[in-house]
Structure 1
């Protein structure tokens, strides 16, 4: 195997440099993956712009990127070598597997989680990554590299819809028509929702959502959503006014799920929550969602390829982290081998 690789390192807020570093060594239960595609997440952008996300602070150079796919090129001593050559979607985390939360199946809440691109754990804006074998999920050839990478944000949507008990005949409200909001809308429809209402102040994004999952789109600046009476509300905006309106739109005994990363503190309509017994919960990553995500994409019930609006190479990661705010952008993807043809070390 190669000994060195190229990686885009966030040196400090606003500064990304491409460096040559060592390929990560393999534990016995791990596989080495040649990275094919990496989606840019809002958390990556936040680290790039501010050098931190909540309590996680960039104190040393770090590789960002946690939405990824690739091909297995080597395996640890305890892994079947027949896995070499498999195309995989990577679940970018390593739980301890022995704590109370892990044993209860909620490994996303593991207090000792090692999650890609969360300081001090490196991510995937590089040529090779290592991951435990069972978190490298084989994908069929009908699933593109980019779609396989975006099974990570799809997993957030699956986890949110599962916890919101979205099913056949559900009426669902989604705030925010960015990538997560659109993926949530598609997932809700795939789960059987009869009506999926998506709100966003951006007309272009509303139009995109209407073509990719939403049955109705509304402009929250002009349309009152508080009287909708939906079974489930999923916030993918992080905007306090959207959260309040969404909770007010939930019927008695309905469910509100908070996905969007916005303000750390916000006021909530407590009287509506209490009088209607609305269940309000946060969403933190996911657990056991990749098999469902792969099936949704492979079957065509969720279209992730349609979200990709920009593609960049490893030397363009700083641009990839900046372009998402431009009009017309939805999901940006980095291809680590794009535009570089030098012989591998």
Structure 2
């Protein structure tokens, strides 16, 4: 594999400005700050719902776009410079974990660094993201890709790690029944991880038939397209279609949509576990009576934590999870705004943007 030329003077960035306008800027090339730092030439970046939300609404909760910011955090790339203590080499193909924790607070020390209040997370104001030529991270945020995984598909390790983390929160899945709401990238990957973790029944639910048609490739044993306005009717139809008379053991909602959350709670069996993976309205109305009557365990899931990336890489390396086909749309760096428009229209499954000057054929190639 040819390593892209390292130009220490050029760092092109795709920038979101307050008010929702996009533009391109020349930024300084990041420099190594320690002997464990790594400089990565960004090859592919997947677009996430959070990127689109910042563009359309200018904020997510307490994080507000108050100055120009580089978006993007689902990335893969090639190491072009590294410190002598990094354990990596120039030319290594890596997936990037885009959050740098403080490693000293009580949450970090307890192994829950995703809850670190001083987390510097890419594309979360005020921290720039990865839609640029180069991005610097510490070595612990770089994960070598298996030879059979392309750099394009390597950008999917980030959402796969989200699925791994939420599936772990759900607990033991061996021979359990799981309902996943949402057949987008994270929902499909949740279905795949659930099957890899031993679930016997995995039902994927969505309103878009074209997305459901691909769900069987990624782990679903059943699919259901919701049509009713009644959450009770939808829940009953899902359970009947999958033969789950007593309700599901686990529900994972990757939509954040209030009707899906309500349907999932109604479809969950007594003593079941509900994991909220996707975010929607900040204060949805939920059937608390159902939660109490069935003693449901309701869990929130936030990004990923220790060993989630390693597990994601292991699942892909063993081919228990297959990433092929999830990327449905590809855009050059000059077409970045088109990519955002494409995601906003809910076209396809996953859109990726290639880094500045990236050879697309190289990005799609594998080493084996």
Common fold: TM-score over 0.5:
yes
Looking at structure 2, the residues matched to 19 and 182 of structure 1 have their Cα atoms a distance apart, in angstroms, of 35
Q: 2:309 aligns with which of 277, 290, 296?
A: 290
Report SS of the residue matched to 2:27: strand
1:166–1:318 Cα change, 3 Å = farther
Q: 1:71 aligns with which of 57, 78, 87?
A: 78
Counterpart for residue 298 of structure 2? 280
Looking at structure 2, the residues matched to 201 and 266 of structure 1 have their Cα atoms a distance apart, in angstroms, of 19
Looking at structure 2, the residues matched to 214 and 325 of structure 1 have their Cα atoms a distance apart, in angstroms, of 25
Is 1:260 the counterpart of 2:278? The answer is: yes
Counterpart for residue 224 of structure 2? 218
Is 1:46 the counterpart of 2:74? The answer is: no
Unaligned runs of 5+ in 2: 1-5, 361-368
Counterpart for residue 164 of structure 1? 170
Looking at structure 2, the residues matched to 144 and 96 of structure 1 have their Cα atoms a distance apart, in angstroms, of 31
Give the deviation of 1:245 after TM superposition.
1.1
Q: 1:321 aligns with which of 326, 337, 340?
A: 340
Is 1:155 the counterpart of 2:161? The answer is: yes
Counterpart for residue 116 of structure 1? 122
Counterpart for residue 332 of structure 1? 351
Looking at structure 1, the residues matched to 188 and 96 of structure 2 have their Cα atoms a distance apart, in angstroms, of 21
Looking at structure 2, the residues matched to 255 and 142 of structure 1 have their Cα atoms a distance apart, in angstroms, of 35
Is 1:15 the counterpart of 2:18? The answer is: no
Q: 1:251 aligns with which of 263, 269, 276?
A: 269
Instruction: Give a deviation string over 1:97-119, Cα, whole Å, max 9, x none.
Output: 11111011100000110000001
Give the deviation of 1:5 after TM superposition.
0.9
Looking at structure 2, the residues matched to 325 and 106 of structure 1 have their Cα atoms a distance apart, in angstroms, of 32
1:15–1:305 Cα change, 3 Å = farther
TM-score (normalised: structure 1):
0.94
Looking at structure 2, the residues matched to 210 and 70 of structure 1 have their Cα atoms a distance apart, in angstroms, of 30
Give the deviation of 1:36 after TM superposition.
1.0
Looking at structure 2, the residues matched to 317 and 192 of structure 1 have their Cα atoms a distance apart, in angstroms, of 39
TM-score (normalised: structure 2):
0.88
Looking at structure 1, the residues matched to 350 and 335 of structure 2 have their Cα atoms a distance apart, in angstroms, of 15
Instruction: Give a deviation string over 1:63-106, Cα, whole Å, max 9, x none.
Output: 000000111111135434x5222111111010011111101110
Counterpart for residue 365 of structure 2? none
